[in-house]
Amino acid sequence: ASPSASSETSGNPLPTSQPITSQATTSKNDGPRNPNEVKCSTALEANLLDEAIKFCQLAAKEKDPRGTFTLGTLYIYKNDNANTEKYLKVAADLGFEMAYGALGVFYEMTQKDNAKAELWYKKGVAVKIPENYITYALFLEKQKKFAEAEKYLILADKSGLTWGTYQLGLFYKKQGNNVKAELYLSAAAKAGDVSAMYEYAELLRTV
């Protein structure tokens, strides 16, 4: 899968419409960054995946939450489910809150275990991380729980996360509410979200 980009992030993907690894910097886990984690991120940006894994392994050994999280998502490239699960769980145990939503995606998409996925999604929204609102909302939408999905997408949009604005617009587009779809897709497009630009242009073309 090729990386997507938004005004907030660009990087590598989990099986959702937005990469999760690249969103690590938007979590609440701020502070000085581990040197090996920085080297890992630099290698990742250059698409040097094996080198990125090497440096993130060193960061994980030093119990760096962000590096451990990134390592877990990097193993997706290797189709290594065991290590993906292992390091995402370690990151969650280290308090890296983005890992909760990522584990929800992992169990939903890879393990096809919706019950376990929802447990992690709910942990994710409980800590009020905007990205976790979106991953849970996308899950709820697939379950046809549209009112709940809308609620979490609105929260993500209100947080100021452009990905949330885009996903809310896309949600309304799929619901056939073109007025609201245009409102949010245009806002996300103006903020620089490439996917929103495309969806907004398509909406204008077809309505």
Could you tell me where the DSSP H helices lie in the chain?
Answer: 35-45, 49-61, 65-77, 81-93, 98-105, 114-126, 130-142, 146-158, 162-175, 178-190, 194-206
129-175 residue pLDDT tens: 999 999 999 999 999 999 999 999 999 999 999 999 999 999 999 99
**Which pLDDT score is estimated for 34?**
96
183-196 residue pLDDT tens: 999 999 999 999 99
CB 3 within 8 A of CB 22: yes
* The 3-state secondary structure of 35-84, one letter per residue: HHHHHHHHHHHCCCHHHHHHHHHHHHHCCCHHHHHHHHHHHHHCCCHHHH
Give the integer Cα–Cα distance in Å for 144 and 138: 10
65-89 residue pLDDT tens: 999 999 999 999 899 999 999 999 9
Which residues are paired to 48 by β-bridges? none
Averaged confidence pLDDT in the chain: 88
38-52 residue pLDDT tens: 999 999 999 999 999
